[in-house]
Amino acid sequence: MLAEERSCFRCQLTAGWGDDFLIGVRARPEQAWAVEEFFELFKTPWEFFRSDHVYDVVIVTSNDVPRIDKGLLLLYQADSLEWDDRLGVARTERRATGNLKRGRETLPIYSGLLSFRVALDSAVWAEGADGGAAATTFTDSPLKVVRFGYNLFDEVQYLLTRGQPIENASVPVLDLHVRMLRECVLEAGISLVEIPPVPAKHGFAICLTHDIDFIGIRRHVFDHSMWGFVYRATVGSIRRLLEKRLTVGQLLRNWAAVAFLPLVYMGLLRDFWEPFEWYLNVEKGLPSTYFLIPIKRHPGNRVPGSRAWRRASGYDVTDMPEAAKSLLKHSCEIGVHGIDAWNSVEKGKFEAERIAKTTGKTPEGIRMHWLLSDQETTSKLEDAGFAYDSTVGYNETIGYRAGTNQVFRPIGSKRLLELPMLIQDGALFYPQRLNLTDQEASQACNRIIDHATQNGGIVTLLWHDRSHGPERFWGSFYARLIESLKKSDAWFGTCTEVSEWYRIRRGVKFESVTTNCGRRVRMHSTMGTNDHGMRIRIHRKDCTSSHAGEMQEYTDMCWDGRSEQDIEL
């Protein structure tokens, strides 16, 4: 049951917490970044464990387990602990990876897994290989212990740095870890207050983005792009027709496009690869972000693969000054479709300056051409002055490379935020990739949208420049998808707008204060406010179990961030 109040409020609610913060965390020193980032995704009061404080919940991911006599103790460790003997659990051999099961859900584990032989009714997640329990509960009143056979913050670091393999792309693993922790707290009868990743008046955010690799076929005469188009529009169209992935009408349109190509080159017919007018018409005033190439005819340095030369573009931003300024007038954003910024601070600054000189506006964000990156890319992009990146995603499929649909701060970054790219046209429809029909693609996209509807976060869409016309004809699917999203409870924002909302949410701080009325937790914003506001979500401690598909009882209230909010303990 959900009760919501849309007006701002002065929050003074009984939360049933301990003497200080709700959650105390004892982790290894090298896990500090992962701990901090996890609790930016799960925005709830916490602090690193202090022995002179009392907590309702203690999370331990080190071998040093403090003495806890009451409350909830969560032990996350893929190695043996002395507590295992105290709990009387029989351990199996530690494995490097594994897949946990609960009902229809799967939870991949990447950084070590230990399972236990326990009674089935005490198992939280079952381990697929041998049927053991990878998470199990024990109650020794007034203490409840949940023993997990993996290390939560090792998993967080793996997901946010290395990312998931393609075979697990459809699983929002990190979001499942957040939900599981929330469930453990609530099922222990402990109330919880959090700031979910949703604006005050919306259920989730949508970023419409376009990587502009081409601005017209006229720039491609007798090159590989032209010949590739001719082949796919003629011979390739016949094959797609036989596979029932192309209609007869679309085949005829493809053939006509090839036949009249000389007239397009002479300027007598419209260039069917020109993208901007089509997107502005379909999106009808919705804000979107266009990533433009800063340097033409340059494939970039350190590009892997034997066909690296194909990365060079036939245009750059200086070829389209009027079109770029027109996009800005239509409330769109222009970012950098980076060439060498991923491996060079100087090149990153140069690429941003190329965009700024043409548009008159310094770009805030970047997405690398071909999604190139390495371990040093984050720091280089930040040093080049970018506020956000949207490169983390897949070329081969759609889904959650970082295990989440939330904006996060990559390791090594102080300010730069990452907007994960979840859905792109090429991954859905290319024959060499998923090669989905429209119906299959709709189902795949709806799974990602449904997750955002239920959990918040963002849905970042990428539709390329020439996807709307011959020979692809992916434009009608995009138009239907946009119309469907407009009917949802979603906020459409540019990448800068959405990343700034997350920055404000990340800037909310909690502190424990004592007043004449008792002990409270005080919330205040250190990053200012915006027009979209935030929600404060209060989970009542008498809520029932919230296993997959079940609704928790909570109350949502609006907070504009302009004044401090006190939660009475």
Tell me the per-residue pLDDT of 331-356, one tens digit each, with 9 for 90 and over.
999 999 999 999 999 999 999 999 99
Q: Which CATH superfamily is domain 204-216+273-492 in?
A: Glycoside hydrolase/deacetylase (3.20.20.370)
Enter the tokens of residue 260.
């009249």
Q: Which of 181, 209, 121 is nearest to 421 (CA)?
A: 209
Same fold, 18-190 and 204-216+273-492: no
% pLDDT > 90, the chain:
72
Q: Which of 182-186, 419-423, 557-561 has the highest mean predicted lDDT (pLDDT)?
A: 419-423
CA dihedral 315, 317, 323, 325 (to 10 degrees): 180
pLDDT number for residue 89: 79
Distance (Å, rounded) from C-alpha 412 to C-alpha 380?
A: 10
pLDDT number for residue 511: 82
pLDDT number for residue 270: 94
Identity of the amino acid at 401: R
The string of DSSP letters for 44-108 reads S-EEE--TTS--SEEEE-SS-PPP--SEEEEEE-SS--HHHHHHTPEE---BS-EEEEETTEEEE
| 479, 436 Cβ separation under 8 angstroms | no
Residue 560 has pLDDT above 90, yes or no: no
Q: Which residues touch 297 (CB under 8 Å, ≥6 apart)?
A: 312, 313, 314
Q: Which of 308, 247, 266 is nearest to 473 (CA)?
A: 247
**pLDDT higher at 400 or 81:** 400
Q: Which helix (H) or strand (E) holds 524?
A: strand 518-525
In sequence order, what are the beta bridge partners of 135? Answer: 125, 148
pLDDT number for residue 352: 98
Quick one: how far is CA 39 from the chain centroid?
Answer: 15
pLDDT number for residue 21: 62
- The DSSP output letter for 19 is S
Domain residue ranges in the chain: 1-16+494-569, 18-190, 204-216+273-492, 218-272
Q: What is the mean pLDDT of residues 59-86?
A: 91
For residue 373, CA distances in Å to 33, 161, 207, 339 come to 21, 11, 21, 11
**pLDDT higher at 498 or 521:** 498
Distance (Å, rounded) from C-alpha 57 to C-alpha 74?
A: 8
pLDDT number for residue 455: 95
Tell me the pTM.
0.92
**Average pLDDT in the chain:** 89
Q: What CATH number is given for 18-190 in this structure?
A: 3.40.50.880
| 287, 492 Cβ separation under 8 angstroms | yes
Residue 561 has pLDDT above 50, yes or no: yes
| 330, 286 Cβ separation under 8 angstroms | no
Residue 546 has pLDDT above 70, yes or no: no
Least confident range of 154-163, 214-223, 523-532: 523-532
pLDDT number for residue 18: 43
Confidence of residue 373 (pLDDT cuts 50, 70, 90): very high
Confidence of residue 6 (pLDDT cuts 50, 70, 90): very low
pLDDT tens, residue by residue, 240-270:
999 988 999 999 999 999 999 999 999 999 9
Confidence of residue 543 (pLDDT cuts 50, 70, 90): very low
Least confident range of 11-15, 98-102, 119-123, 515-519: 11-15
Confidence of residue 237 (pLDDT cuts 50, 70, 90): very high
The length of the chain is 569
Distance (Å, rounded) from C-alpha 94 to C-alpha 113?
A: 6
Q: What is the mean pLDDT of residues 67-83?
A: 91
SS (H, E, C) 338-393: ECCCCCCHHHHHHHHHHHHHHHCCCCCEEEEHHHCCCCCHHHHHHHCCCCEECCCC
pLDDT tens, residue by residue, 80-136:
888 888 877 777 778 899 888 887 889 999 999 998 876 655 566 777 655 678 888
Given the DSSP bridges, would you call strands 57-60 and 23-26 parallel, antiparallel or unpaired?
parallel
pLDDT number for residue 545: 41
